Amino acid sequence: MIRLLDLEENSVLEVCELTGWGTSKVKVTAMRARRKLQAALVRLEQATPRGEKPPFLSTAHNSL
């Protein structure tokens, strides 16, 4: 859901067409997904020692 709405920048109506879901379900699912992502990022930040980059930002994993 985050990918469809936020990364690919589809509208709620476009996501409804892609998934076959109603607007309410798309919006609620997106809100829940964003909350879970936020909680995961907070846990990762808390588990990373100060001054160090989180594992996904290390140069070994950075292919961009």
Residue 11 pLDDT: 97
Residue 60 pLDDT: 56
Q: Give the H or E element holding residue 32.
A: helix 23-47
pLDDT band at 63 (very low <50, low <70, confident <90, very high): low
pLDDT band at 57 (very low <50, low <70, confident <90, very high): low
Residue 21 pLDDT: 97
Give the start-to-end residue ranges of the domains of the chain: 2-49
Cα 44 to Cα 34: distance, rounded to the nearest angstrom: 15
Classify 13 in phi/psi space as left (phi over 0), alpha (psi -120 to 50) or beta.
Answer: alpha
